[in-house]
Structure 1
Amino acid sequence: MSDTEVLIVGAGPTGLVLALFLTQAGVKPRIIEKNSGPGQASRAMVVQSRTLEFYRQLGFADEVVRRGIPMDAAHLWEGGREITQIKLGEIGQGLSPYPFVLSFPQDDHERLLGEQLTAAGVEIEWETELVEFHDTGDQVRAILRRGGAEEECVARYLCGCDGAHSAVRQGLGVGFPGGTYEQVFYVADVEALSGGADGHEFNFCLGANTLGLVFPIRSTGMNRLIGIVPSTLAGRTDLTFEDIRPSVEELVGIRVGAVNWFSTYHVHHRVAEHFRVGRAFLAGDAGHIHSPAGGQGMNTGIGDAVNLAWKLAAVLQNRAAESVLGAYEPERIAFARSLVATTDRVFQLGVGQGAGNQVLREWIIPHLAPFLLGFSRMREGAYRLVSQTRLHYPESPLSHGSAGDIHGGDRLPWVPGNNGSDNFTPLKSLDWQVHIYGEATQALREAAQSANLPLHSFPWTDHAADAGLKQGALYLVRPDGYVALADAHQDAKALGDYIARFRITTRA
């Protein structure tokens, strides 16, 4: 029998980030994975800005950017011809320290996260499977199997990050309503003899009941192809790339040479009925799966992990009330439901066979999208939506007050400073803190000191005003970089009441 505070089932990006955040917050988890190593046929290609901001808190965002490829442009194709180009570049300039879309394949991504976890002193237990578990009220007793041997693991909490066929979700008896797209998808790693995606650009190809994406990969110099198998071949169980080569090459304008690997899969759109049952939690694909439209899936799972990790660490270390951990499900399940509905609509519009869908692909998207994105406000709106920097928790029990344009539950807006400094630098502490943009009153300083809360006072600048902050207002910031309490008048009592209500203490 072995004991751990947190048992994580699944070593994909969600489970790895959960383990990394917990470890840096002072909780050493145990992480198991039934497979023998990182995934090979990975489908997720895009790392969004919000994920990179989390990685900056953990200390390795620059390494992820170095290994990936920032995308400068998207080429839109329809019916085998390029119809327009959308400039991306630093589309979110001034909104994030990472104002771009990063191409970084999930297999490379998982290896990097695994390296970071090993360096932090936690080893992934490969070929180890969750057999069953029981929540006794004050702990979870799990049976694990490796090879032919079984052991019992006693954990304070169990986290299911084990994908669409989650053993944790099934063990909890939690429903997974939704559906499965009729299309079969493929993913392949190929050498492009001609065409393909070059440098810092990717191809997005649409057609009736078809879809194709082509991304460059820095680590191999190859191209990653993702798309829909032709309907005439969708029923085959023995498909190879050669079977779909003609249709793929025609759709995306590529001539393929060597094929490193090829795989097919089904895509679902589902959200679990609950993300928490007792001492067990669901995160990532175990809780929600949806179409690849917008490159949101993996990034949403990583967002789940960060949201859950700081709450688990705080409760385990007696630095917050249990009610803080209770906010995980309402915060994340609302976003998952909205995301699944949105990506489903976008996917159906993009690949539909009707006349309206064809007009959308051939005329509206190629002509209207570049025109609209020429306006700064539209570019900003599109960036915030896709990058997940707009994601907020207005209905969370942890979200209180407003000051300027910022409400409790909003992501703390990024404010660049001089000499490379900014207001995100203190977030590396992974702890609660107070931000003031302007001068802090003596009463507030004393209240923060009494609560052992770090207080960071930043100069009032045009950047702070543009970000929607209010001069001299109080912003209590959570360990994940979201505003918990916003108060326009630096009300020291409001700060004290919030701290007392949730029994918050810092790690310092």
Structure 2
Amino acid sequence: MNAVLITGAGPTGLVLALFLARKGVPLRIIDKNTGPGRTSRAMAVHARTLEFYRQLGIAEEAVQKGIKVNAVHIRQGHKEKGRVNLGDIGEGLSPYPFVLSFAQDEHERFLLKHLIAAGVEVEWKTELVSYTDKGGFVEAEIRKEEQTEVIETAFLCGCDGAHSTVRRELDLGFPGGTYEHTFYVADVKASGEAASKHDLNLCLEEDGFCIVFPVRSTGMNRFVGIVPSALENREALSFKDIAPFAEKLLHVKVHEVNWFSTYRVHHRVADQFRKGRVFILGDAGHIHSPVGGQGMNTGIGDAVNLAWKLAGVLNERVDEIILDSYETERIAFARSLVATTDRAFQAVVGQNARGRLVRTVLIPRIAPFFLRFPPIKKAAFNRVSQIRIHYRDSLLSMGKAGKLQGGDRLPWISVGRNDNFEALKTAAWQVHIYGKANPGLLTIAKQHNLPLHEFAWSRASANAGLRRDALYLVRPDGYIALADSEQTINKLTEYLSKFKIRN
């Protein structure tokens, strides 16, 4: 019996499989498609995702395959109305203080290569037909072409997208709505100032907008925009129909079209992310507007959150109660994110006077001015990069030391060529002390096979909100589980005992 069956081989499913494979968990991953995506539309890879990739040892390669976005040019017609310099906007906050443009179709092939290297092959043209949670295991029927197979698995993970079979079989509500606009996405070769090879271009008019991303692998640009109202009801829409509007809006000339597609945008969150031995992740559980490029990164965050917990349970390293924290931690963030991006999206695309004001005045003129100031840039990076996500209300989160609480992301501290995130590559439970560890703590950590890392106290530690000589028990995903100012050994041992934690 395979320990985990993953259905859906998009970024969420692939990252889940990668983390599980690294922990030695037997798994199968299936997808009804013939291969990795070719017409996907997610482009932005944020800092928190790259921090997770560093734990897998693939972050630097991802950065090389993508393009660091240096700036956002805000245009109206042929004129640049504003510019937001990004560069290393999150300097001092993350080892990846930038936004990476990395097309999802290329991204999926990148993840797939590393999964194959880990000894796991995606079973393409294979779909989940039905399943039953038997209590001690899940019985699933899968089909490849005309052949069906009934298998048993300890856990089933639905990463199968907005039309998820897993979610439907769980009979979960998926409340929310669909935006009235139809979007288009196209991979094109174009010339003109908006067809930059390094920067992002946001082109706005009173009645529309289009975002232009550079794509390293093809040297092309990806257009993501709203279908003009004059074409909204046209059947079999092609880029030839869109081209006159896009070229006028962007002030570019399109020479070649690699592919083109249209889609509708939803905003929904499932009622639950788990029932028994069945979980849903990514678009199966939540769908967002494209504002801020959050959707794919959120799905990857789901995968990392669940992967270490499943691996811990299956490898008998933690108590099964820890699985209860997955839904609590991720559904709260998904609901908050959908509400936030929905408000922002409605403001940007609205066809009323407010929407036109946002597109023609607020974004091109006011936003670039305020984003010159370091505190505002820092706040913007914290929000968009997903490093601000915390799990303070989780059953796994306890204590406070300095400005940090259990459930907060461990802040990144860099001193010279060294940083504290190097220790996280093990994806294991560990103790961090920024200062000096007491001899008793060293003994207890050794007894529990718990790595203990001492980092010299520095100005950077203080600025990050850490407390000198405090104890921080860090989860495998880099979040603080327990924070204690006094290095109280009993608190640490009680926490380890409560969740039956051992490395």
Question: Is residue 494 of structure 1 aligned with residue 491 of structure 2?
Answer: yes
Q: In 1, Cα distance between the equivalents of 2:208 and 2:491?
A: 55
Q: Provide the residue aligned with 1:11 in structure 2.
A: 9
Deviation at 1:209, TM superposition (A): 4.9
Q: 1:352 aligns with which of 350, 353, 359?
A: 350
Q: CA deviation at 1:322?
A: 1.3
Is the contact made by 1:434 and 1:474 (CA closer than 8 Å) also made in structure 2?
yes
* Residue 405 of structure 1, CA deviation: 1.0
Aligned match for 1:245, one of 243, 246, 259: 243
Equivalent residue runs for 1:224-235 within 5 Å: 224-235=222-233
| Larger CA deviation: 52-61 vs 443-452 | 443-452
1:429 to 426, 430, 438: 426
Q: Which residue identity lines up with residue 177 of structure 1 in the other structure?
A: P
- Tell me, in whole angstroms, the C-alpha distance in 2 between the residues paired with 1:490 and 1:113: 40
In the TM superposition, residue 79 of structure 1 has moved relative to its aligned partner by 5.5
Over residues 226-272 of structure 1, what are the superposed CA-to-partner deviations in whole Å (9 max), with x where a residue is unaligned?
11111221222300001011111122222111101101111100000
Structure 1 residues 279 and 208: alpha-carbon distance in aligned structure 2, compared to 1, 3 A threshold: farther
Structure 1 counterpart of 2:187, which letter?
D
Written as runs of structure 1 = structure 2, the 5 A alignment for 1:186-201 is 186-201=184-199
Distance in 2 of aligned mates of 1:129 and 1:344: 32
* Correspondence 1:144 to 2:142: yes
Q: Distance in 1 between matches of 2:465 and 2:394?
A: 21
Matched, 1:505 2:498: no
Q: Which amino acid aligns with 2:30?
A: I
- Give 1:45's aligned residue: 43
Q: Give the secondary structure class of the aligned counterpart of 2:201.
A: strand
The answer to whether residue 471 in structure 2 is matched with residue 464 in structure 1 is no
Q: Which residue type is aligned with residue 314 of structure 1?
A: G
Matches within 5 A, 1:65-84: 65-78=63-76, 81-84=79-82
How far 1:208 moved relative to its partner?
A: 4.0
Residue identity over aligned pairs, in percent, reads 58
User: Which residue, out of 11, 18, 31, partners 1:33?
Assistant: 31
Aligned-partner SS, 1:6: strand
Which 10-residue stretch deviates more, 478-487 or 22-31?
22-31
SS at structure 2 position matched to 1:197: coil
8 Å contact kept, 2:205–2:360: no
Shift, 1:464, TM fit: 0.9
SS in 2 for 1:424: helix
CA distances 1:143-175 after superposition (whole Å, capped 9, x unpaired): 010011000111000000000000000111111
Retained in 2: the 8 A contact 1:206–1:350? Answer: no
Does the C-alpha gap of structure 1 residues 240 and 334 become closer, same or farther in structure 2, counting only changes over 3 Å? same
Per the TM alignment, residue 276 of structure 1 is displaced from its structure 2 partner at its CA by 0.2
SS in structure 2 of the partner of residue 332 of structure 1: helix
Contact 1:208 1:351 in 2 (8 A): no
Secondary structure at the counterpart of residue 492 of structure 2: helix
Task: Tell me the TM-score normalized by structure 2.
Answer: 0.98
CA distance in structure 2 between the partners assigned to 1:329 and 1:323 by the alignment: 12
The answer to whether the 8 Å contact 2:4/2:155 transfers is yes
User: 1:32-65 CA distances to partner (integer Å, 9 max, x unpaired)?
Assistant: 0000011111110000000000000000000000
Structure 1: gaps spanning 5 or more residues: none
C-alpha contact (below 8 Å) 1:271/1:289 kept by paired residues:
yes
Q: Which amino acid aligns with 1:221?
A: G
Q: For residue 11 of structure 1, what is the amino acid of its counterpart?
A: A
Question: Whole-Å Cα distance in 1 between the matches of residues 34 and 364 of structure 2?
Answer: 44
Conserved 8 A contact 2:65-2:102: yes
Matching residue of 1:321? 319
Matched residue, 2:54: 56
Residue 206 of structure 1 corresponds to 204
Q: What is the alpha-carbon distance in structure 1 between the residues aligned to residue 390 and residue 148 of structure 2?
A: 42
Which residue is equivalent to 1:86?
84
Q: Deviations over 1:425-484 (max 9, x none)?
A: 011111100000000001111121222110000000111111111110000000000000
Question: Superposed, which structure 2 residues align to 1:190-339 within 5 Å?
Answer: 190-339=188-337
Comparing 209-218 with 99-108, which one deviates more in the overlay? 209-218
> CA–CA distance in 1 between the matches of 2:269 and 2:468?
40
Structure 2 Cα separation of the partners of residues 491 and 253 of structure 1: 64
User: Does the 8 Å contact 2:204/2:360 carry over to 1?
Assistant: no
- CA 1:310–1:209 in structure 2 vs 1: closer, same or farther (change >3 Å)? farther
How big is the shift at 1:390? 0.4
> Aligned residue pairs: how many?
503
RMSD (Å) for aligned C-alpha atoms: 1.1
Distance 1:215 1:192 in 2: 12
- Structure 2: distance between partners of 1:127 and 1:501: 43
